[in-house]
Structure formats: structure tokens, C-alpha cells
């Protein structure tokens, strides 16, 4: 558990370090690209901090005011991150279109300045590859949507930096003819970002809206039907909250069975489901089925 916090904390510190590096070298070299990238890193600090807070809230146990725990905050945080990504995409796209329409940017003729900028961007790219890999692994391990959103964000940031680096190199080698290469690359990145943030928004809204987890109802029904004593599985409802899946199910058992035996079957169903998936939290309701006395099941009291 502590591992995911360490990764989230490392991501915050990486964002702070990148922000300082970009702003300091931006001011030293007077590079607008580096300065605006430094502002983006300031946004990254916020995003990484929100993720860290979300992890802490999400791990709080259920309490009197949140009976199902606090797992949904992960989806809320991921939704917030998708909005942040979408805004960044529009910002990048808008700046790119402006630079395409405006006069070409004159490349920095000072060698030291452009090599400094290339170095800083390369360090940022390595940092983003490193942390998005760590975050992806942790998101999978802890089923954390907040961490997955962060992994996606810094994966996209890697793309942004690679466009910046490519344009710095192109302008250094090819001069002014290549001054628009960054704008074309940036528009491409903005389109990728819009797609990524919309799909992240969809995934988080699905969980916030209790969209039933795909295929879960069918597989749970089959699993419960296989438990000895279960006559019918009438209803299964499932919803996701953080790394937990809350399920309630209605099963029928032979109506002539004792109450104690019927309850035992319900318990067996719960055990079978929770053994299959330890993230499952299931409640089973039992109804009587007419089996032995030949009464149609539909006439049995509910």
C-alpha cells in the first residue's frame, strides 16, 4: 500500500523539479517555449498533488457518512485530470494555430541557449517515461483509476516534450525554414490529447454513474448458479467504487428448506464470489422457489 503513495509523491517532486528547471533555464535563455513549458509543469504539480490527496481519501475505511467507503474519489480525481488535459490540449492547439498564422519564430542564434533548452527537454522526457511506467504498473497493481489518469497524463506530456525537442533540433539544423515544424507537431499532439482526455473522462463518468462493469453480471450469474442448492439467480446488480465492486444478488432456494439451510446457501454464494475476486463485496437476498411441491416458481411468495 505504501508503495503507491511513494510513487505518487515521487511524481509530485518530479513535477516540482521539472518546473524549477524549465523556469530557471527559461529565464536564463529567454526561451518562451521553456517558460510556457514551465507553466505547464506548474499545472502538473497540481495534478500530481490532487492524485495524492485522492489516494489518501480513497483508502479511508467506510464511515457513518460514506457507508460504501470512499473509492469513488479516484474516479472524481481522474475526471478532474481529464478536464485538465482537455484544457491543456486546447491551449497547445491554440498556440500552435497562432504560430502557424503569425510570422515565423526566429531561431535562437546563440548555440549555448538552444543546447540548454534541448538538454532540459531531454531530461523532462526521461522523467516522464520513468514516472508514467511506474504509475502504470502501480495503477494496475492497486486498481487505481487516479494513478491510471496520472500515468496517461505524463505519457501525453512525453509526446509534448518530444515535439518540442524535435522542433528545437530542426530549427538548429535547418534554420527558419523549419520554424513551423513545432506548430504542426503541436497540433498533432493536441488532437491525441483530446482523444486521450475524452476516453479518460468516459471511463471515470462510467464509474461515477454506476455503469455496470462489462460482462460481470453474466459471469457472476454463472458462478452463483453453480453453487449447490441455488435454484435460480433472479437478479444481479454490480457497481464499481475505487478498487471495490459492490454486488447485490437475489437467488432462490427450495422453499421447503429450513431457514438455516437457506441462509447457509446464501453464505456459500457469498464465499464463492469473494473467493473468485477479493475486491468483491456481495450481499445476497434469498427467495423461496417451488421445487418439490410442483408449484410454478412464479407463484411462490416474494
Q: How many CB atoms within 10 Å of residue 228?
A: 6
Ordered DSSP codes for 29-74: HT-HHHHHHHHHHHHHHHHHHHHHHHHHHHTSPP-SS-TT-STHHH
The Cα-based distances of 259 to 249, 262, 270 in angstroms read 18, 5, 17
Task: Work out how close the CB of 299 gets to Zn ion at its nearest, in angstroms, rounded to a whole number.
Answer: 44
By C-beta, is 66 or 237 nearer to Zn ion?
66
How far is Cα 238 from Cα 276, in angstroms, rounded to an integer?
A: 15
CB 250 within 8 A of CB 235: yes
By C-beta, is 48 or 233 nearer to Zn ion?
48
By C-beta, is 135 or 253 nearer to Zn ion?
135
For helices 111-142 and 145-174, the axis angle rounded to 10 degrees is 160
By C-beta, is 46 or 268 nearer to Zn ion?
46
CB 190 within 8 A of CB 90: yes
By C-beta, is 63 or 260 nearer to Zn ion?
63
What is the number of residues in the chain?
Answer: 302
Task: Work out how close the CB of 47 gets to Zn ion at its nearest, in angstroms, rounded to a whole number.
Answer: 7
Task: Work out how close the CB of 134 gets to Zn ion at its nearest, in angstroms, rounded to a whole number.
Answer: 16
Element (H, E) at 219: helix 216-225
How far is Cα 199 from Cα 211, in angstroms, rounded to an integer?
A: 15
Task: Work out how close the CB of 51 gets to Zn ion at its nearest, in angstroms, rounded to a whole number.
Answer: 12
**Chain residues that interact with Zn ion, rule: CB under 5 A:** 44, 63, 65-66, 157
Task: Work out how close the CB of 268 gets to Zn ion at its nearest, in angstroms, rounded to a whole number.
Answer: 32
Residue closest to Zn ion (Cβ)? 66
By C-beta, is 63 or 293 nearer to Zn ion?
63
By C-beta, is 14 or 138 nearer to Zn ion?
14
The Cα-based distances of 298 to 233, 234, 270 in angstroms read 13, 11, 25
Task: Work out how close the CB of 289 gets to Zn ion at its nearest, in angstroms, rounded to a whole number.
Answer: 39
Task: Work out how close the CB of 74 gets to Zn ion at its nearest, in angstroms, rounded to a whole number.
Answer: 14
Amino acid at each position: 500500500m505504501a508503495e503507491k503513495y511513494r510513487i505518487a509523491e515521487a511524481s509530485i517532486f518530479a513535477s516540482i523539479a521539472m518546473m524549477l528547471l524549465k523556469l530557471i533555464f527559461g529565464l536564463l535563455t529567454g526561451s518562451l517555449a521553456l517558460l510556457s513549458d514551465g507553466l505547464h509543469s506548474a499545472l502538473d504539480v497540481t495534478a500530481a498533488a490532487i492524485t495524492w490527496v485522492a489516494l489518501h481519501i480513497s483508502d479511508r475505511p467506510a464511515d457513518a457518512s460514506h457507508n460504501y467507503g470512499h473509492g469513488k474519489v479516484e474516479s472524481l480525481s481522474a475526471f478532474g485530470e481529464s478536464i485538465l488535459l482537455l484544457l491543456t490540449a486546447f491551449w497547445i492547439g491554440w498556440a500552435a494555430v497562432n504560430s502557424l498564422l503569425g510570422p515565423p519564430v526566429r531561431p535562437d542564434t546563440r548555440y549555448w541557449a538552444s543546447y540548454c533548452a534541448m538538454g532540459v527537454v531531454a531530461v523532462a522526457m526521461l522523467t516522464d517515461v520513468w514516472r508514467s511506467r511506474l504509475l502504470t504498473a502501480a495503477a494496475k497493481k492497486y486498481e487505481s483509476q487516479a494513478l491510471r489518469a496520472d500515468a496517461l497524463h505524463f505519457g501525453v506530456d512525453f509526446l509534448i516534450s518530444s515535439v518540442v525537442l524535435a522542433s528545437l533540433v530542426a530549427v538548429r539544423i535547418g534554420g527558419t525554414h523549419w520554424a513551423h515544424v513545432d506548430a504542426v507537431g503541436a497540433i498533432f499532439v493536441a488532437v491525441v490529447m483530446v482523444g486521450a482526455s475524452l476516453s479518460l473522462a468516459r471511463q471515470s463518468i462510467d464509474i461515477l454513474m454506476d455503469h455496470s462493469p462489462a460482462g460481470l453480471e453474466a459471469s457472476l450469474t454463472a458462478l452463483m448458479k453453480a453453487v449447490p442448492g441455488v435454484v435460480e439467480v433472479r437478479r444481479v446488480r454490480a457497481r464499481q467504487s475505487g478498487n471495490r465492486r459492490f454486488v447485490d444478488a437475489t437467488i432462490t432456494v427450495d422453499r421447503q428448506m429450513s431457514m438455516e439451510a437457506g441462509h447457509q446457501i446464501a453464505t456459500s454464494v457469498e464465499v464463492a464470489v469473494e473467493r473468485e475476486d477479493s475486491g468483491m463485496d456481495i450481499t445476497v437476498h434469498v427467495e423461496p422457489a417451488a421445487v418439490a411441491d410442483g408449484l410454478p416458481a412464479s407463484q411462490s411468495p416474494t
